[in-house]
Amino acid sequence: MSRPAAEVRRVIKAYDVRGLVGAEIDEGFVADVGAAFAGMLRDEGTKSVVVGYDMRESSPTLAAAFAEGVTGQGFDVIRIGLASTDQLYFASGMLDCPGAMFTASHNPATYNGIKLCRAKAKPVGEDTGLAGIRETVIAGVPSYHGARGQIRDRDVLADYAHFLHSLVDVHGLRALRVAVDAGNGMAGHTAPAVLGTIEGLELLPLFFELDGSFPNHEANPLEPANLVDLQRYVLDTGADIGLAFDGDADRCFVIDEHGDPVSPSAVTALVADRELAREPGATVIHNLITSRAVPELIAQRGGTALRTRVGHSYIKALMAQTGAIFGGEHSAHYYFRDFWGADSGMLAGLHVLAALGEQSRPLSELMSEYQCYAASDEMNFRVNDAPACVDAVVKSFESQTVSLDHLDGVTVDLGDGAWFNLRTSNTEPLLRLNVEARTADDVDRIVGQAAERIAANA
């Protein structure tokens, strides 16, 4: 059955499938996506697809419909049931088969979606399969007249935990009290298996009940308001560290013992430090809004730093091309070569816990080594004429500018460690501003000047 092109294109996006349940995504639609996905894989030698899903009310039903679409094309389905996104990537890597994860990550409860990957967790994006799947669903999936595939269940949670522990040595750490805010998302499922089994670690759970209605706060720790509960919990419990995960638990945010957030750039630098100690001279990737402290540390440790545009597809592609050992984004996505190049918030969290537990200093002192600069949060400005705003801002800094580059939007280097990046959103009429400098006063000055020019030209 063919489907209206505009409706399909609204839901099958550049990196994943995502939309409103009922209005945009239903069982028939995801069955077609499953069938189209299987059709795409037919000449790739694979015979099975692994399927997992998050805690949203609609996820089990949609995952079952997707499985029907896949098996109707003669492929087998391995159901792993409730899973985090990185647990699905683990299953794809361990079982050497393509995968589908049903989740809308941090989006509200009314949304759902699918993250697809090929065998060994290789990403499926616009240029690597999603465009073809989209066009197949629009045209109508061709009928398949062979035997149906089979569905079988497999629990991989213990294997996933064991594999993460094989990548980060957590033996012999000092006693730690670790507060974890799962946000009613999938970390409530994976954290007990991964963190709760570490000797000497006391797990202090917050909002571990799986509930896709997100009754306590949005499962999006990138928004400061969603960290407030964990910050208070760390102080109330006297925890040594706090970890916050998003809905599908592929991103991890860190809170120190004072209740202060740790910059994801600092976490990137810490993990890069540890990985380079293990493999001197390796390549580490960071995106262009990550702190300059990251490439500086990589160079100091004898590694090679590679800079990419913002977006997971760019880091994953560059990791595959270069064999980079690690990649980090300021959005708290962390990618590991030894995790099939995929991202895992839980693995990044293990690195931070190991670094903390291997020495005696509190987390705030440990992380001060990796936080050399002051930075703004990413700020969004709604504008009508983004190019005019960008031109006006760049011109206003002309006398202070050392260099410009246009890798992603425009990055203006102001010298002495100060810089800012302005880039447009791909989906909304927004300009995104990131600023870094030596001091908070310098950051405020740059933000004020940029914001004034944007407002005057919006």
What are the 10-residue block averages of pLDDT along the chain, 458 residues in total?
A: 89 91 96 97 93 97 98 98 98 98 92 96 91 96 95 98 97 97 98 97 98 95 95 98 97 97 97 98 96 97 95 86 95 96 97 98 97 92 92 95 94 96 82 96 97 90
- Whole-angstrom Cα distance, residue 192 to residue 243? 13
Instruction: Give CB contacts under 8 A, 24+ apart, made by 439-442.
Output: 439/374, 440/374, 442/374, 442/418
pLDDT tens sequence across 301-328: 999 999 999 888 789 889 999 999 999 9
| Confidence (pLDDT) at 429 | 78
Confirm if 422 and 393 have CB atoms less than 8 A apart.
yes
pLDDT tens sequence across 365-413: 999 999 999 999 899 999 988 999 999 999 999 999 999 999 999 999 9
| Confidence (pLDDT) at 38 | 97
Residues annotated catalytic, as ranges: 105
Q: Which residues pair with 76 in a beta bridge?
A: 48
Confirm if 89 and 120 have CB atoms less than 8 A apart.
no
User: Beta strands of 298-417 (E only): which ranges?
Assistant: 304-308, 326-328, 334-336, 374-375, 379-382, 403-405, 410-415
Q: Which residues pair with 100 in a beta bridge?
A: 51, 116
pTM score above 0.85: yes
| Confidence (pLDDT) at 426 | 65
Percent of the chain with pLDDT over 70: 99
| Confidence (pLDDT) at 226 | 97
| Confidence (pLDDT) at 330 | 86
Confirm if 373 and 419 have CB atoms less than 8 A apart.
no
